[in-house]
A and B are shown apart, each in its own frame.
Chain A
Amino acid sequence: MKKTFQFVRLELLQLFRERTFSGLMVLLLILMAISAWNSSNHIAEKEEQNNIQQNLVEDADKQLIAQIDSLNQGLASYEDSYTLPTSGIRLTYNNHRIATLPMKPFSLIAIGQSDLYSNYKKIVLYYNDSYDMDTKELESPIEQLFGQLDLAFVWVYLMPLIILLASFNILSIERETGRLPLIASQPIKIWRWLALKLGIRFLTIIFLLALFTFPLLAIFQVSVWEHWATFGKLLLILMLYNGFWFLLSFLVNLLGYTSGKNLIILTSIWVLFVFLVPSTVNQIGKKLHPIPSRLEIINNHQEKYNEVEKNFDMELKALYNTHKDWYSDDPATKDMSNSTGWNINYLAKQYMAQLKHSPTAQAYENKVDSKNSWFGKRRTLSPAMVVNEALTEMAGTSTKYYRSYLRQATEYASAYRQYVFKGIFTNHAFTAAEIKNLPKFHFNTKRVGNTFLNNTYTLAIYIITLLAIGIVLIKRKKLLNIR
């Protein structure tokens, strides 16, 4: 025990004296700091946009309520239904709702798909829901093509390389410098000696990683103490992923090749797991699960709208049969020459076309979900994909997260329409209390699902497999070229 402790102490001393190792750690810190700074800017911008959108809606509502009060007190008069504060038409065009997706506390760790999606969605009454699943931010596609520099990129892509560079020649360098016989003469098996050396490096790197991550998150205003469980999960995932690469390096070292050959083997495995497997899965997935073009949905919506327009009287009758409380005898609701009648007509057409179109739109979205689910299962083919999924899930920036948000926003839009259409279609004068009580959007994170355990098990299986291979290799040590 005492000897092991002494070995660890000496190894640590040697490790921090090694320029390569210290250099790699400094590089890691710099990369993490730049990435965290970049992500924090991205998040700050998103949060600011959410606040602006929320404030716009609240301010417009306050103004509307104030105008309703003025109208009720006889202090103001209005020319038409576009400006009349109690009018449903005014509500339709001037007072939209907003569905915002708040950033998660750990958004900083992975930008993920958040550069493709917007975190707010305007909910309007004259809108087609099939388009609700398409919400893009105004960003350069070149930026999206090249991707963002975030902590996930450093951890998933670069961290394995740093580990490989810090460990590829642990055993081979001893052989190449002629020190291996000296080590072999010590009362410790070479594989144990190698495992101990790599183990110390692994623990040191994990310790430094935690040491760098904690203050970085704190600096960029992530309340780590408050969300200690998520931080723990993050460390566990990183520990397993880095452990995988250290184990891989251990096995390759055991094979007893030269330093150059070790590095080539390890780099090839890195290329395989980080580039080739994900890109091949992507391409095969697209081939096996082709998604019909969105253009078909566009065509379908246009066709349905045409159908509604052609048989409008019949369709409107059917609508009022379904929603009897939407019908009114008020002549203004039927007079196409005034804005009230015209807009009721227009909203009814939109609503009916949307109802007819929604099965097609839903079928499309289901296909996208089933394709994404296929991809989700295939992530287990590469630990890099598993970690990427785990990080974007913790950050709330995965496609699954955004699609759940958009689905919830669509449901909210539908509920909102049902709520206000009765008033609009019957030319009801909206009161201040009704405006205050309009339904609000709340995002339910529980509906997204959680794959943390799955990801952890998958990484653990990778590690167990490597351990098993290691045991086999050690037992057949003649193959190892160690002595």
Chain B
Amino acid sequence: MILKTFFKESKEVWRDGRVRIAFAIVLSLLGIAIWISARQYQNINEQHQMAETTERAIWDNQGEKNPHSAAHYGTYAFKPKYPLSLVDQGVDKYVGTSIFLEAHKRNEAQFSAAADQTGLARFGDLTPDFILLFIVPLLIILLGYNSFTKEREMGTLTLLKSQGISSWKWVMGKWMALFFPIFVLSAILFLIAGFILSNLQDFGVFNWSSLFTMFWIYTGYYIIFINIVLFISTRVKKSGIALVLSLSVWILACLAAPKAASNIAETKYPYPTRQEFAANVLKDKQGGLDGHNPWSKESKLLEQKVLAEHGVDSIHKLPFNFDAYRMQKGEEHEAEIYFKHYNHLKEQFTRQSNVYRGLAVVSPYLPTRFLSMAIAHTDYATHWDFADAAENYRIATQKFLNDNFAENSSYGEWAYRADADFWKELPDFNYDPPELRTILTNNASSLWILGTWMVVSFSILLLTSKTI
């Protein structure tokens, strides 16, 4: 019964010219999206590699210079692009790609691509994630909105019921007929993406298991939409109304809920304004040690403490340059301040994430989007992770420079120049994003929510099938 219904429905779907056209359009769009995204991905990675190499060369070839001048001159940490960002570009275009690492200050990533684009960019890009998240659910609606209503409208429902069919088997047959083409379509997309990604040379390690995990998450998302569309079709009498209701669910889940969720999250747990953030950091900085200010109370206290520790009565008699030592202590104090304030931002981000999870109850789009971005390493959490790694590197770099200054010069010797080869000794910045297992553990709640959506929507569809 299930198979017979499946074959009959599949034939009907395939005979419908509109469906064939819709399939062809979606497939072509996907093809174009993947092709363009792959080219852009390659291009961005080439630019990234070139910038990283050039920046390192610039750092290495500074020539003889005071280490603290080099600290102010600074260097950059560049955020790598990962293979799966080809499938889901996530928040990448809204966060910057490079962080300036300099003395005394933690900077944020600069130059978000979205700021250089027109408002047109807010309509979305023709990327694989756009097709997967918005267009494929629309295709499901187009294929399935009249699955049951057409039986009512054509009068075949009474005929079928008089044959004594099993409702759940009938529903399962129709469900399979809707699921199969969508499954095949997304499988083709992911296989093409996998093939392209595994053939890209030198651009990050591509992981098939991450791609498969992403594929199963999207499959789960489509199952939920199939369940909802079929449920609506079983409950209403007219195809037109079924279409209107299904479209309303799509608008609510994919357009309205995410916007509402972000507004609620921001209203409930707002980020401080940039001005507030900067003022709070400045206030804490002023209350502590400033490496550049030898006249402050904190500097004098530090001086007394160091003199006592070394049993000397003048900073000139210390075995190192006290200016550089004070500079390093100032850095450590400032790093702590930044750590404290950025932690507050992170806490707000965690609270906002909880709001998104809570609102995922009204939209399966939300957990799918968060999981997809996380696996692609294009989510906000990965960006935080990168920013933290860059900050740790900055702190280590400042220590590397201040130590050289302290050990190789004497107090007041600002004319000291480090050797031209010294800069090459600074280790490179490396960032490794979290592994798939860690990502799934961190996003377990989204997995649970998506799973619950699947089970509940499927159960409702089957349980209510008796009353069709």
Contact = CB atoms under 8 A, between A and B. Distances in A.
B255 interface: yes
A287 B32 CA distance: 12
A260 B240 contact: yes
B273 A138 contact: yes
Given A117-B115, A137-B274, A146 B244 contact: no
A399 B94 CA distance: 14
Contacts of B408: none
Contacts of A116: 94, 112, 114-115
A263 B274 CA distance: 47
Given A116-B94, A263-B240, A80 B118 contact: no
Interface string B184-207: 000000000000000000000000
Interface stretch (B4-12, B39-47, B172-180, B453-461): B39-47
Given A140-B266, A145-B90, A149-B263, A388 B120 contact: yes
A149 B264 CA distance: 11
A349 to B, nearest CB: 9
Contact of A136 (B76, B108, B146, B239): B108
B134 A282 contact: no
A142 B382 CA distance: 13
Nearest to B150: A260
Contacts of B380: 140-142
A174 B343 CA distance: 63
A148 B108 CA distance: 23
Interface stretch (A199-207, A272-280, A430-438): A272-280
A313 interface: no
A337 B414 contact: yes
Contact of A276 (B29, B51, B76, B275): B29
B70 to A, nearest CB: 10
A294 B124 contact: no
A142 B251 CA distance: 19
B271 A118 contact: no
Contact of A279 (B78, B126, B258): B126
Interface in A109-162: 112-113, 116-118, 120, 131, 134, 136-149, 153, 157-158, 161
Given A118-B274, A283-B32, A299 B55 contact: yes
B265 interface: yes
A295 interface: yes
Contacts of A286: 36, 40, 125
A456 interface: no
A281 interface: yes
B235 to A, nearest CB: 16
Contacts of B212: none
Given A140-B352, A400-B118, A131 B271 contact: no
B237 to A, nearest CB: 12
Contacts of A82: 293
A149 B414 contact: no
Contacts of B100: 298
Contacts of B126: 276, 279-280, 282-283
Interface in B251-277: 251, 255-256, 258-263, 265-267, 271-275, 277
- Contact count band on A: 35 or more
A398 interface: yes
B57 to A, nearest CB: 9
Given A52-B275, A118-B274, A399 B240 contact: no
A399 B91 contact: no
A146 B251 CA distance: 13
A25 to B, nearest CB: 16
B244 A278 contact: no
A53 B275 contact: yes
A302 B72 CA distance: 11
Contact of A291 (B91, B116, B243, B265): B116
Interface stretch (A243-251, A321-329, A372-380, A442-450): A372-380
B25 to A, nearest CB: 9
A52 B260 CA distance: 28
Interface in B266-306: 266-267, 271-275, 277, 293, 295
Contacts of B91: 141-142, 144-145
Interface stretch (A8-16, A68-76, A303-311, A408-416): A303-311
B240 A259 contact: yes
B119 interface: yes
Given A139-B271, A149-B259, A378-B120, 7 more contacts: A138-B277, A298-B98, A303-B58, A306-B61, A309-B62, A309-B63, A372-B118
Interface of B: 18, 29, 32-33, 36, 39-40, 43-44, 47-48, 50-51, 54-55, 58, 61-63, 65, 69, 73, 76, 78, 90-91, 94-98, 100, 108, 110-112, 114-127, 130, 134-135, 138, 142, 146, 238-240, 243-244, 247, 251, 255-256, 258-263, 265-267, 271-275, 277, 293, 295, 345, 349, 352, 356, 380, 383, 412, 414-415
20 contacts: A138-B271, A141-B383, A142-B265, A143-B265, A147-B259, A260-B146, A275-B123, A279-B123, A281-B120, A283-B33, A286-B40, A286-B125, A294-B98, A294-B111, A299-B54, A299-B55, A306-B62, A384-B123, A388-B122, A389-B120
Interface of A: 38, 41, 45, 49, 52-53, 56, 79-80, 82, 112-113, 116-118, 120, 131, 134, 136-149, 153, 157-158, 161, 165, 168-169, 259-260, 263-264, 267, 271, 274-276, 278-284, 286-287, 290-296, 298-299, 302-303, 305-306, 309-310, 336-337, 342, 368, 372, 375-376, 378-379, 384-385, 388-389, 392, 397-400
